[in-house]
């Protein structure tokens, strides 16, 4: 079943704004949050013309081929950093439900299957002065984007090409939001962080991140990565792109 305003609004148990095409669902959700959107409201689009990824990168959402959504969450102020974990865990659950194995989270928040990215997560806090109004949790899931002839062929993939069957995007959307709700109900509990950590697929590996090389030693409850360099010193990395380094190469 294709996505449409009627399907999305009738099947989702929350206020929803649906767009056939929009610049970025995160931008629309931020504006809605500022205008008073309720907790759990969602913005969904069939296509994005200016989808955004981490570090200001472009995120492709061609029509009829992906899920692009932003969930508006209004957790208590001190729980805002925990939102970072929700989207990736919800996508992991969805991928498992669809029949994928070898599911992992590449720090900070890429969901991978068999080492290739199927989804990206972009949580953005909306501030009103010093107060956090809430968080816009952007999720982009590749459902049937063909990467085979693209420069991303070695690093990105789509859910349908893994499970080898046609999937219904309306079902996927409904299920994904159910998993977001499920994890959101644990936002005040340690299980959220522990589950996210247990899905990370590079802990213990030799990695390069932000010009540092060393071993991915651990993660902190705020989502930061601890890297141990060849001298044994620990570095805290808040954000960056991780590359796994072959054992025996330069560095730690």
Q: What is the contact surface with ligand BTN in residues (CB under 6 A)?
A: 24-26, 48, 51-54, 57, 59, 61, 68-70, 110, 120-122, 138-140
Closer of 26 and 82 to ligand BTN (Cβ):
26
Is residue 243 within 8 A of residue 110, CB to CB? The reply is: no
Residue 227's Cβ-side half-sphere holds a number of Cα atoms within 13 Å equal to 27
Task: For 181, list phi and psi in degrees, rounded to 5.
Answer: -60, -45
- H or E element: which one contains 22? none
Closest CA to 3 of 53, 87, 61: 61
The minimum distance between CB 192 and ligand BTN, in angstroms, equals 20
Closer of 69 and 72 to ligand BTN (Cβ):
69
The minimum distance between CB 23 and ligand BTN, in angstroms, equals 8
**DSSP assignment, residue 82?**
G
Cα angle, residue 84 at apex, residues 79 and 199 outer, rounded to 5°: 120
Closer of 118 and 192 to ligand BTN (Cβ):
118
The minimum distance between CB 110 and ligand BTN, in angstroms, equals 6
The minimum distance between CB 233 and ligand BTN, in angstroms, equals 29
What residues pair up with 135 in beta bridges, in sequence order? Answer: 73, 125
Closer of 66 and 215 to ligand BTN (Cβ):
66
- The residue at minimum Cβ distance from ligand BTN is 120
């Amino acid at each position: 079943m294709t996505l449409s305003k009627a399907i999305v609004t009738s099947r989702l148990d929350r206020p929803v704004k649906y767009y056939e095409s929009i610049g970025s669902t995160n931008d629309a959700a931020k504006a809605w949050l500022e205008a008073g959107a309720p907790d759990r409201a969602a913005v969904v689009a069939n296509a994005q013309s200016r989808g955004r990824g981490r570090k200001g990168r472009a995120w492709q959402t061609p029509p009829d081929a992906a899920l692009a959504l932003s969930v508006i969450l209004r957790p208590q102020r001190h729980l805002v950093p925990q939102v970072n974990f929700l989207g990736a865990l919800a996508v992991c659950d969805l991928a498992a439900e669809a029949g994928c194995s070898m599911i992992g989270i590449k720090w900070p928040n890429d969901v991978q299957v068999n080492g290739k990215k199927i989804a990206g997560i972009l949580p953005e806090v909306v501030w009103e002065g010093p107060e956090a109004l809430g968080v816009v949790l952007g999720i982009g899931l590749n459902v049937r984007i063909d990467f085979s002839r693209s420069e991303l062929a070695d690093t990105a993939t789509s859910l349908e090409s893994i499970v080898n069957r046609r999937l219904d995007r309306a079902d996927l959307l409904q299920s994904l939001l159910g998993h977001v709700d499920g994890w959101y109900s644990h936002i005040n509990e340690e299980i959220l962080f522990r589950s996210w950590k247990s899905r990370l697929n590079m802990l213990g590996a030799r990695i390069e991140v932000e010009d540092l090389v060393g071993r991915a030693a651990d993660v902190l409850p705020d989502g930061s990565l601890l890297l141990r360099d060849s001298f044994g010193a620990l570095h805290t990395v808040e954000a960056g792109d991780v590359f796994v380094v072959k054992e025996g190469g330069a560095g730690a």
